[in-house]
């Protein structure tokens, strides 16, 4: 759950932070990371920046590892892997997104969402708006909870078509997890929330919980409830 909250915080920082704040992340990394590690990450950040990928999340990733006392020789490999996930997310969205969308996409990939599912979410349908960072995070949360991939994608697309607000989208995941705690399967819970959404109620219950909250069925999925997802 803490990781999910951190991901949302990074989204806000990258998406709306002033240039001085973004430069501050790099400066904090320069002051706190071993010199060789910082220089390598700085070079990597410059490289991905030329591809339209935000550099700040790389420094944030390194600082997060430092705060967790990750050995310095493991920081650069971790940041390099994360840069690869940002690139994969950018490719999945056809290079048409923004920094926050790529950060959300990288988070989704880490949580088991397949690149093909991100690509499908990024495809516009009629007058429906394209994928938003929040839509990607909610999709990842549903998949991580065990909702079949196609069902999760359908729910998020329907919410986008209905111009559902971000708080209501978070409410969808909260409602699915509540129904699962009451004994429903992920698929049945998702179907009930989808019907509520169609009736205009948005599927929310009480204050929404951040993506990544319990329960999760990761590690005990079977058949079509896995990452690739069946119906």
Query: Do 154 and 210 belong to one domain?
Result: yes
Under 8 Å between Cβ of 215 and 177:
yes
pLDDT means per 10 residues, the chain with 231 residues, are 47 48 82 95 93 89 92 94 95 85 92 93 73 91 93 91 85 91 93 85 42 46 43 39
Residue 122 is predicted with a pLDDT of 87
Looking at the domain assignment, is residue 127 inside a domain?
Answer: yes
Alpha-carbon distance 51 to 163, whole Å?
Answer: 30
Q: Which of 88, 110, 132 is the last residue of a domain?
A: 110
Looking at the domain assignment, is residue 166 inside a domain?
Answer: yes
Bin 229: left if φ > 0, else alpha if -120 < ψ < 50, else beta: left
Residue 96 is predicted with a pLDDT of 78
Query: Do 102 and 136 belong to one domain?
Result: no
User: How many structural domains are present in the chain?
Assistant: 2
Alpha-carbon distance 152 to 169, whole Å?
Answer: 12
Alpha-carbon distance 147 to 149, whole Å?
Answer: 6
Alpha-carbon distance 166 to 7, whole Å?
Answer: 16
Residue 41 corresponds to which tokens in the numbers above? 């990450």
Residue 19 is predicted with a pLDDT of 52
Burial class of residue 117 in the structure, from the number of CB atoms within 10 Å of its CB (0-12 exposed, 13-18 middle, 19+ buried): buried
Looking at the domain assignment, is residue 37 inside a domain?
Answer: yes
Q: Which of 110, 141, 166 is the last residue of a domain?
A: 110
Give this prediction's pTM.
0.74
Residue 158 corresponds to which tokens in the numbers above? 């329907």
Residue 229 is predicted with a pLDDT of 44
Q: Which of 95, 110, 125 is the last residue of a domain?
A: 110
Residue 204 is predicted with a pLDDT of 42
Under 8 Å between Cβ of 74 and 106:
no
Residue 82 is predicted with a pLDDT of 95
Structural domain boundaries enclosing 47: 1-110
Residue 196 is predicted with a pLDDT of 86
Residue 102 corresponds to which tokens in the numbers above? 């790529």
């Amino acid at each position: 759950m803490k990781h999910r909250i951190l991901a949302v915080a990074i989204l806000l920082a990258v998406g709306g932070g002033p240039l001085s704040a973004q430069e501050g992340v790099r400066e904090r990394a320069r002051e706190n990371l071993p010199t060789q590690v910082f220089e390598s990450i700085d070079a990597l950040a410059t490289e991905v920046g030329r591809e339209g990928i935000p550099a700040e999340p790389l420094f944030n990733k390194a600082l997060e590892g430092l705060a967790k006392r990750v050995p310095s020789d493991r920081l650069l490999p971790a940041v390099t892997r994360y840069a690869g996930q940002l690139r994969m997310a950018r490719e999945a969205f056809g290079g048409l997104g923004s920094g926050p969308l790529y950060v959300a996409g990288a988070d989704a990939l880490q949580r088991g969402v397949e690149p093909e599912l991100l690509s499908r979410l990024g495809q516009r349908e009629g007058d429906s708006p394209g994928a938003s960072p929040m839509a990607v995070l909610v999709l990842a949360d549903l998949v991580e909870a065990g909702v079949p991939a196609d069902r999760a994608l359908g729910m998020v697309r329907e919410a986008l078509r209905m111009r559902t607000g971000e708080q209501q989208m978070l409410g969808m995941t909260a409602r699915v997890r509540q129904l699962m705690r009451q004994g429903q399967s992920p698929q049945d819970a998702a179907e009930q929330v989808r019907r509520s959404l169609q009736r205009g109620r948005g599927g929310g219950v009480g204050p929404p919980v951040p993506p990544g909250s319990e329960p999760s069925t990761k590690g005990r999925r079977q058949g079509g409830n896995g990452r690739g997802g069946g119906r």
